[in-house]
Structure 1
Amino acid sequence: MEHFRQFKETNFKLADIELFRNLSADQHDLIKAHLAQCPVYRAHAGEVVLDSNNGVGNLYIILRGNLALTSSTSRRQLEGATTQYFAGECVGEISVLDDEGHLSTIAAVTDSELLAIDSATMWKLIDESNGVARNLLQLLSFRIRAANAQLRNRQKVGEFYRQLSMVDGLTGLNNRSWLNTQLPGLIDSAHATASELSVIMLDLDHFKQFNDRFGHVLGDEALQAAAKVISNGLRPSDFAARYGGEEMIVILPNTPKESALIVAERLCERIRHTKVFQNDAIGLPHITASIGLASLAEGQDGLAVIAASDAALYRAKERGRNQVAL
């Protein structure tokens, strides 16, 4: 930035500056005396005003133009920045108060004129004018609230995408990543409380031949129909996930094998009788499922109980499919 002139040479009104608003004439005279020799700089569009290595110990008041909080000094990035500062506003107040480098980068969006108030002068203004101290506190309070709001929004967005990454896009069930993340905790909880946990592994019968004959679009509809049956057939405390391909898994916490068998039989029957396709003229067959059931044994981990349910699933297939096996 280039030194343009001194503040006493400008005709900028103190009442137009956030820090000096609503002050008495006497306080304005005091402030003008302190600011008289403060330099006014010219920052060209795209020029960095504040970052970790620049502008330490100075508070900048924008007399003309505007600045933006940014990660890039490209014109498009600056003009589209969410946080911008305009004439009468200030930047760099935190680095003045704690005498540390600025954590973010602030650059000029357009050619701008900036009044630089050094740390010593700013502290004199705070000590000698209650009005300046009050305005600075209000400004800091606003900035803190705005920063907290941004953090909350980012957390909400982050949680939204985290949840989205745990859902299978086709069926709407939880996905394999969810299972890998959540199952160990469910297993540990079951062991810690000596409660029973059962696992159902479900596989749509002859699904590869179904896809080869009728196409993947109708195959996807079949998967979605089966997933809907599963979701509608579970309690709020149960969990379902797409394990891979046409395989789906159901986790039943606090459920003994006898009760889990009732759930598995119900799912098998509902899939057998569900109407998958809305066009009766096509004459497509109903889908069926083979289901394996296992309950968590003492000392077993998640991989072991899944392996047990998978072995039961293959027994159901060997016995003719469209049934439940233990």
Structure 2
Amino acid sequence: MIVTGTFGASPYRIRDLQLFRDIDDPAVAQALADSRLVRLPRGEALEDGLRARLYILLAGSLAVEGALGEGNVERILPGESVGEQSVLDDAANLDAIVALEDSELLVIEPDRVWQLIDGHNGVARNLLRLLSFRIRATNARLRRRQKLGEFYRQLSFNDGLTGLYNRAWLNDALPKLVTRARQDGGPLSLVMIDLDHFKRFNDTHGHIAGDAALCAAAGVIRAGLRPTDFAVRYGGEEMMAILPATPQAQALTVAERLCVRMREAAVFDDMRLPLPHVTGSFGVATLLPGQDERGLIEAADAALYRAKEAGRDRIGT
């Protein structure tokens, strides 16, 4: 950063600067006359950016990245300013300020800024307008970031292959569903599902066909549940249906329907013969008094094991 002169001896006009827009007062020009002009070569950072000063860009352009370093870079064009907040707070300016091209800046010391604010209502009004714009822009970025974060959060809760909820979602949601069932005094049932002899299916038809079978099974489960139910890929070829407000007898009916539809589902849309298909074994459990989410899963898993032991392609309780 190189000092090139003072504002009073420069060709720049006050009315071209946003902070002094619509202000035609010789006293303002006089107050700024001895303020320094500095040149910032392209790619150079503002070395004294940690000091509470107001910088107005006269020529060139600047990139300003917030102190949090979250990748939000604001471009500053001639007539715009940086550092207002640090002057008002009397705090260090932690923004990273870098010249995108050879730039010239007007440097206004904090006591001079306050002198202008106290003595000229137009300066105070313009400063409020600038700060209001900055706040609105920041809030808009925060809202976009929140929506984007929620989007990625939802992506992280879904299995990439089947589209069902994944284990991470289950770990987050099932304890809440158990708590809600306790509070409401209503039932909560869980159906554990395991595709039968899936390794053999993969070995016979290939892993691409195996992925198609998993997607077909997920479609059967998703289509066979109510909007208030949840379908989860528990891991590998294991899936799960969570049925809030559903007693044991009704959960058994749901499992039986899914078992039949699974058996009838076509893995492929073509007419290859023999037609590849899959079946599933089902374990049903309903939340018991004093049981937590882990106990509920273990009960459903034990019921699933009994279905396998009894010959698969059936329901265990």
Do they fold alike, i.e. is TM over 0.5?
yes
Q: Deviations over 1:63-104 (max 9, x none)?
A: 1111112379xxxx9xx9741001111000001111101232
Show the counterpart of 1:22.
Answer: 22
Give 1:57's aligned residue. Answer: 52
Count the aligned residue pairs: 315
Task: Specify the alignment match of 1:247 in structure 2.
Answer: 238
Given candidates 268, 278, 285, the residue that maps to 2:259 is 268
What are the within-5 Å matches in structure 2 for residues 211-222 of structure 1? 211-222=202-213
Residue 36 (1) aligns with residue 27 (2): no
Corresponding letter in the other structure for 2:38: Y
Query: 1:12 aligned to 2:9?
Result: no
TM-score normalised by structure 2 residue count: 0.95
Task: Provide structure 2 residue ranges, at least 5 long, that are not aligned to the other structure.
Answer: none
Q: Which residue identity lines up with residue 65 of structure 1 in the other structure?
A: G
Cα distance in 1, alignment partners of residues 125 and 55 from structure 2:
18
**1:222-269, CA deviations, whole angstroms, 9 ceiling, x for partnerless residues?**
100110111111111111110011000111111100111111111111
**Aligned partners of 2:30, 2:66: CA distance in 1, in Å?**
37
Distance across 1 between alignment mates of 2:303 and 2:207: 28
Q: What are the residue-to-residue correspondences of 1:76-225 with 2, within 5 Å? A: 82-225=73-216
What CA distance in whole angstroms lies between the structure 1 residues aligned with 2:14 and 2:72? 27
Contact 1:68 1:81 (8 Å CA) reproduced: no
Aligned to 2:275: 284
Counterpart position of 1:3: 3
State the alpha-carbon separation in 2 of the partners of residues 285 and 94 from structure 1.
67
Q: Which moved more, 1:166-175 or 1:283-292?
A: 283-292
> Partner amino acid for 2:14?
L
Runs of 4+ deviating beyond 3 Å: none
User: 1 CA distance for matches of 2:32 and 2:239?
Assistant: 72
Question: What letter corresponds to residue 149 of structure 2 in structure 1?
Answer: G
| Shift of residue 207, structure 1, vs aligned partner | 0.5
Q: Name the CA distance, whole Å, in 1 between partners of 2:56 and 2:139.
A: 24
* Structure 1 residue corresponding to 2:288, chosen from 263, 283, 297: 297
Q: CA deviation at 1:314?
A: 1.1
1-structure distance, mates of 2:222, 2:130: 51
1:183 and 1:193, CA in 2 relative to 1: closer, same or farther beyond 3 A? same
What TM-score, normalized by structure 1, do the two folds share? 0.93
Residues 1:252 and 1:283: Cα distance change in structure 2 (over 3 Å): same
Q: 1:81 to 1:243 in 2, by over 3 A?
A: closer
| Identical aligned residues as a percent | 53
For residue 62 of structure 2, the aligned residue among 54, 57, 67 is 67
